[in-house]
Chain A
């Protein structure tokens, strides 16, 4: 069946511009996670959505980062006024919640010039 999909696969932007990254989770998965993978920091958690509960935003690095999940399905991660240190691969994962395994998408590679 279809896995987690993310778009775009690559995004190049100029410093100071806003970007939106999209994640389509596996159908029926109630939980959705965003992670960031960068050379200096490794792989780090950003934000977690579980059903209709308030998201866990504890991993967001600054208030320039925000995420939404509409209708309990698709999620958009928005980075405002991008900085060069935002350059990374942004990974999305989903699962059925509780103790289920997280399934990862292929990621979006963001490059901020």
Chain B
């Protein structure tokens, strides 16, 4: 069965410093992996997705993530945090492999990112 583990429930950074949100996944086959962001009182928004093309995936708002099969990781990074990045971030795996339907999404518990001025 597929699962994701977000290693930090809360990350706090200063504005202008790098962001690292960690995610490890478990999958019986090659997974589709996603990062979603949820701002307070807003819906979920897709940041980026990995579907077997390049292992380094670039998303919106300067975020990127690298798929590392040997480490079963899909960590989310951004070189320089902005105040508007403060939100909750979810690492997500699809329960189908990337050759087929996206299927149902399995969410990590989320990481709350705080950005200090």
The interface on chain A, measured as residues whose beta carbon lies within 8 A of the other chain's beta carbons, has a size of: 27
Q: Chain B interface mostly helix, strand, loop or mixed?
A: loop
A95 within 8 Å of B (CB atoms):
yes
Number of A-B contacts (CB under 8 A): 55
Asked if B44 and A104 sit within 8 Å, CB to CB, the answer is yes
A interface list, Cβ under 8 A from B: 3-4, 33, 35, 42-45, 48, 50, 56, 58-59, 91, 93, 95, 97-107
**Given A42-B109, A43-B90, A43-B110, are A105 and B101 also a contact pair (CB < 8 Å)?**
no
Which residues from chain A contact B90 at a C-beta distance below 8 Å? Answer: 43
Q: For this complex, into which size category does the number of interface residues on chain B fall? A: 20 to 34
Contact of B51 with A by CB under 8 A:
yes
A48, A56, A58, A91: which has the most chain B beta carbons within 10 Å? Answer: A48
